[in-house]
Amino acid sequence: MRSPKNKFYLGIATFVALILGFWLVRDIVATVRGKSQGADSGAARPYLQFDRPNLPSKAPWRHNSRRAPGIDEILFGLPGERIIRFDGEKDYRDFLSRIGNSKLRLLGRLDGLRAVRVGFDNREDLDGLLDDESAPNFRVSIPDLPQVGAQPGAIGFGRTTLEWLGITSDNSGWGEGVRIAMLDTGVGQHETLGTRVRQIDLVSSSQPSSTEVHGHGTAVAALMVGRDGISQGIVPAANLLSIRIADQNGSSNSFLLAEGIVRAVDEGSQIINISMASYGDSLLVQDAVAYATEKQVLIVASAGNEGYTVPAYPAAYENVIAVGAVDAAGQHLDFSNTGDSIDVAAPGFEVLAAWPGGQYTSFTGTSAAAPLVAGALGAALTETQSGQLLPLQAQAILESNLNASGAPGHDPFYGGGTLDVDRMVNTHTDGRFDLAVASNWFEAPGPDEV
C-alpha cells in the first residue's frame, strides 16, 4: 500500500509527464507540417497537373489530396525527401533555375509530369522555394515473402500453371507484336528469356552486375515471356521492356514508380505489369496512372502479401487491375491482401519460375499472380478469333471470362473471379460452348427465415 507522500509524488510526476507530452506532440506536429509563414511570396506553387479530381479508388476509404501529414507519411515516407509538381512550364523551369542556389538537392526530375524529387537536411531548407504542399516520396517495394503464410493444405502449382489456366497446346507464338513493360528489379541472365527483352535502368546509370539484380524481376518476366518449356510464359513471342525501378534489395519509391510508368507509356507499351506495392497514396503516381489511362495503356498490379484488408497502391486505383492470389485448388491464399480493390485472382503459390544464373525457383505471392494476368491480356490482344484487339477490348474480354469464385458478384477475395486464359482466347470461337467454372455459395437462413 502506497503512503500519502508517495501518492503525492506520483501525482506530481504524472502531471509533469502530461505537460511534457503535450509540448512534445505539439512540436512534432509543427515540425511535420513545416513552416510556410516565411516562404517567398514568389515561390512556385505545386499543383495537380492533370487538373482533375484525384483518381477514384476501389478501396472504401481514401485521404483527401490536401491534408496534414498523417501516419502514412510518417510510416511510409522517405525521410529528407519531397516530391514537388508544378502548374506550368514557366514555374517548373523557374524552380529548376533556382534550386542550384539553394540547400536542396535535385534527386530526380520528371519533365513529362513537371515534377521533381528533392532532398534536404532540414525542413527549413524548403522555405523560399515552395510552400508546404509538397508531397512525400513514399517507399515502394516488391511484396515481402508472405509473413502470414498460406493456410494448411494449400496446393502448389509447380509446372502445372499453364495447364491450370487452360493452355494445353503450343503457345510459343502467342503475343507476337505485343509490347509489355515490367517495372521491377531488372532482369538477370536466363536462357528462357531469349532476346526479346530490352532493359532500361532508372536506378543506376551503369549496367548492374548479376549480383546487383534481385531475382524477383527475372521470375516475373519469365511468367510472361519465358520460352524454354520449363518456365514457359503465357506470351513467349511478346516483346518485354524491363524498366528497373528497384535496387538489389527490391526497394524503390513513388517517384521512380511514376517515372517508370511514364517511360513505359512513352516507349509504346500496351500493358504494364507492376509486381510492387506501397501503402502511401502518392499524388504523383496518380498522375502517372492517369497519363497511362489517357493513352489507353493497361496497368496490372499485385495486391500485396501482408494479408491486409487495406489498399495497396497502385493496385487500389480505379484504372489499375489489382490481382490477388489463389492456390492450385482455386482457394484464396490467406496472405493475399483483400478488399474492394481486388479485380481478379490468379495462381500465386509455388509457381515454377526462372531465377538469375540459369536457375529456377518456386515463386509464391501476388507478385507471381500479376504477371500471369498481364500475360493473359497480351494473349487476348492477338489470340482471340476477333483478330487484333485494342488493350481496352482485351480488358473487357478478361473481365467477362473469369471463373466465378466466392460470393456472388464482386468478392473481396477473388474480385470478379479467377483467371481462365482458355476462356479468354476462345471467347468468340465458332462451335465453342463456354462452360464457366463456378463455386457454390450458400448462405444459411437466419433464425426468422427458417
How many angstroms separate the CA atoms of 269 and 284, rounded?
20
Q: Active site residue: 132, 367, 405, 411, which one? A: 367
In DSSP notation, 57-103 reads BSSS----SS----HHHHHHBPTTEEEEEBSSHHHHHHHHHHGGGSS
Grid coordinates given for 418: 479467377
Grid coordinates given for 21: 507530452
Q: Active site residue: 132, 216, 281, 420, which one? A: 216
Quote the DSSP letter at residue 186: -
- C-alpha closest to that of 286 among 304, 299, 276: 299
Residue carrying C-alpha cell 527549413: 124
* Cβ(387)–Cβ(402) below 8 Å: no
Residue carrying C-alpha cell 519465358: 226
Grid coordinates given for 130: 515552395
Q: How far apart are the first and last CA of the chain?
A: 59
The DSSP bridge partners found for residue 141 are: 251, 277
Active site residue 125: no
How many angstroms separate the CA atoms of 215 and 213, rounded?
6
Q: Active site residue: 91, 127, 132, 184, which one? A: 184
- C-alpha closest to that of 196 among 136, 238, 253: 238
Active site residue 216: yes
* Cβ(212)–Cβ(356) below 8 Å: no
CA 365 to chain centre: 13
What's the Rg (C-alpha) of the chain? 25
Q: At what angle do helices 366-383 and 391-400 cross, to 10 degrees?
A: 110
Active site residue 209: no
Helix (H, G, I), strand (E, B) or coil at 140: strand
Q: Which residues are catalytic?
A: 184, 216, 367
